[in-house]
Structure 1
Amino acid sequence: MKWNARPLVHRAEYRILVATDDFETSQWIKTFTDARWSHTHRGWHVPDTERNRAVFRLAPKIDKSPDKSIVQQVARFKLWLQSRRYSENTVKTYADALICFLTFFVHKTVDEIDIDDLILFNNEYILEQKLSASYQNQIVNAVKLYFAQIQHRKLDVELIHRPKRQKLLPNVLSKAEVKMLLEAHVNFKHKVMLCMIYSCGLRSSELVGLKPTDIQSDRNVVVIRQAKGKKDRIVPLSPLILDMLRQYYTGYKPKVWLFEGNQPGAPFSAKSLQFVLKEAVRKTQIQKPVTLHWLRHSYATHLLESGTDLRYIQELLGHNSSKTTEIYTHVSTQSIQMIKSPFDDL
């Protein structure tokens, strides 16, 4: 029997890749527990155990504490991100992406990783597992930043082919559907939170980050502090929402945050806020996979349909580029509904 064996990390698992052109050897390898064929590597791979290492004449595993090494590298990367004041969400996203990448090459040192490995990761891990284009871009961004700033290596990570971004239209609810959602809850606090998101076009993180002092009733505005991109902005405060907030404040008396959780002084959690929306959707029986961000999309689209200038909508949403805001022109139905189909003239 003839074969060529080497260690492999496949889908974050330790494996042994066995390449052979001999039919009898292939049939023999297939009898191993959890033997799998890899189209990418053109060979069989089996679990990386001491027994299999002995069978395929590989040296016993040496405990080099790869996990500890990965932890150290990720810790350095997180410190660099935090010192540059990246948001907590970005730090976590990039750190998780780097862990995934380094774990895939756990049998190599960071210095040994080269361009071919980057392309292999793209094909063997991201594409083979059919991961999303947005996740692939997150991996690319994290790896690029890590090698440039931590390893100080000129590694052309652009060879991890970036996928073309999908041009998806934002999901928008009709005004009737929004009204049903906002009126679904009996719990007044939950109702006020959902009304705030829609009436001000807030992200969920922006809502739970509000403090009572951010509601400036004398100016009829809400101040959104240090939102996405570390930017402050103001949005108009509806008189109807102001009345609801006054009732809410009298009944709940928040201490630190405008909307607090079960523990006084602790903000309402984003996960609990998602559950609040889920319950509202269940009560209305709307047959759509509604998310909190749909309310923000609906706010922008309804503003556009009511004649609000796109430049103002950009400011209200806190978009850096007008191109981001222009996507709402593609879902606004006001102008589209005025177009007469040539079919009507037949």
Structure 2
Amino acid sequence: MKITLEPFVHRGISAVGIRFSFNFELKEYLKKFDGIRWSQTHRCFYVRNTAMVLAALVKYLKAENYVPDLEAFESKKRRKRRFVRQPGQILPALKPHNVLVYQNYIKYLQGKRYSESTVAVYGGFVQEFLQFTGNKPTADLTENDVRLYIEWAVKTLNYAISTHRQLVGAIKQFAFFYPACAIDPEKLNRPRKDHKLPTVLSKEEVIEILRVTRNLKHRTALALLYSSGLRVGEAINLKLNCFDFERKQLHIKNSKGRSDRMVILADSFIPLFQNYYMTYQPKVFFIENPNGGKYSAGTIRTFLKQSCKLAGITKLVTPHTLRHSYATHLLENGTDLRYIQVLLGHSRPETTMIYTHVAQRYLQAIRSPLDTTLLSMSRDKDHGNPFLSDGLSGIKAIK
């Protein structure tokens, strides 16, 4: 299959477009590459055009025997362009004095054992920052240069808060790496995170999703995500030798933060898994694609969406919603918050505390002062039995 990579400008940034004839497996595989986006205007997937991201993308495609065609990309890249650093236009290329600095910064991140995706993302931001500052010597860069770059990036590239926070983190690391510059990392502040409550399914909704999922492999994957509270990345990386059926435990290895943990296996999941194993006979991973390799997170999202539609659930549901539901239902069943933190693999208890805000068992135990007032009045013989609807007969609704 021909996969063409070509550079173009999208919303003022340099991007690499990924074009191919429609293929469902390839589409779902691409969707789980970190930083990939879909352009409705150009009708293709794209990533940021940096050397690190491009190299990571090519390596990612080749890992599944997809061979990208770089001819169009290289031919366009060789064309001479006249760059003007203005909002809405592509930034100039790195100046020669910054190329070595950028390359050493990448090595610095790799030396800190950051993941490939983190190195690519942080490297992209710092490359963009050095392009933005142009001819200014690297040693003369200050917090004011950072401020001007962030203002430009947020306004021109419409960065979300999460991207903004990553950007600041990248430049903080750059300031630690290059202390010769005048940037004080302690003066760089990230914007506050959005504090949104997670979407949680009821127990009945979870069972209905599993019931309408007729494909055995799909049902087994969704059942494990919910019954053990796994992240979708943990599920697709899970190997068969991680299952301990005698102890009814599951060993999650090298999870987020490079940590291991043990989680529980539901009694009801074990016969489902045995049926799935005898039917599909996976060789290495818990769930495998038809070619025997790791399954795609995008495919799981797709069939979960289809199951939600069949179940009549209109909430926005993702694989992580099953994890949120698992934690919330544990809390509602009376499980101690400290145990939930261990099962989820949270490094800080504050992360787990968010589930106290959505647990119905606790919310339903709280009485509104309106109810308590009316209840106390109903016990008072002088007030009789008051209701909010009393005295409303004959009153026309306000339009």
The TM-score range, normalised by the shorter chain, is 0.7 to 0.9
Q: 1:337 to 1:135 in 2, by over 3 A?
A: same
Residue 277 (1) aligns with residue 304 (2):
yes
**What root-mean-square deviation, in Å, do the aligned CA atoms of Structure 1 and Structure 2 show?**
2.6
Q: 1:158 to 1:277 in 2, by over 3 A?
A: farther
Q: 1:11 to 1:316 in 2, by over 3 A?
A: farther
Q: 1:134-153 counterparts in 2 under 5 A?
A: 134-150=162-178, 153=181
- Give the residue type in structure 2 aligned to 1:330: H
Give 5+ residue unaligned stretches, structure 1: 1-6, 16-63
The Cα of 1:95 is off from its aligned counterpart by 2.8
**Residue 302 (structure 1) aligns with:** 329
**Residue 26 (structure 1) aligns with:** none
Q: 1:161-200 counterparts in 2 under 5 A?
A: 161-200=189-228
- Give the residue type in structure 1 aligned to 2:94: P
Q: 1:300-339 counterparts in 2 under 5 A?
A: 300-339=327-366
- Give the residue type in structure 2 aligned to 1:102: L
Q: How far apart are the structure 2 equivalents of 1:200 and 1:160?
A: 39
Contact 2:142–2:181 (8 Å) recurs in 1: no
Q: How far apart are the structure 2 equivalents of 1:100 and 1:116?
A: 16
**SS of alignment partner, residue 307 of structure 1:** coil
Deviations 1:224-244, CA, capped at 9 Å, x for gaps: 001011110000101111111
The Cα of 1:340 is off from its aligned counterpart by 2.3
Q: How far apart are the structure 2 equivalents of 1:246 and 1:143?
A: 50
Contact 2:85–2:132 (8 Å) recurs in 1: yes
Q: How far apart are the structure 1 equivalents of 2:249 and 2:369?
A: 46
TM-score normalised per structure 1: 0.75
**Residue 35 (structure 2) aligns with:** none
Q: 1:139 to 1:182 in 2, by over 3 A?
A: same
Contact 1:10–1:104 (8 Å) recurs in 2: no
The Cα of 1:261 is off from its aligned counterpart by 1.5
Give 5+ residue unaligned stretches, structure 2: 1-82, 372-399
Contact 1:305–1:334 (8 Å) recurs in 2: yes
Deviations 1:244-285, CA, capped at 9 Å, x for gaps: 111111111111211111322x11122222222222223223
Deviations 1:10-54, CA, capped at 9 Å, x for gaps: 446248xxxxxxxxxxxxxxxxxxxxxxxxxxxxxxxxxxxxxxx
Q: 1:96 to 1:242 in 2, by over 3 A?
A: farther
Contact 1:208–1:259 (8 Å) recurs in 2: yes
Q: 1:96-115 counterparts in 2 under 5 A?
A: 96-106=124-134, 108=136, 110-115=138-143
TM-score normalised per structure 2: 0.66
Q: 1:80-95 counterparts in 2 under 5 A?
A: 80-95=108-123
**SS of alignment partner, residue 135 of structure 1:** helix
**SS of alignment partner, residue 226 of structure 1:** coil
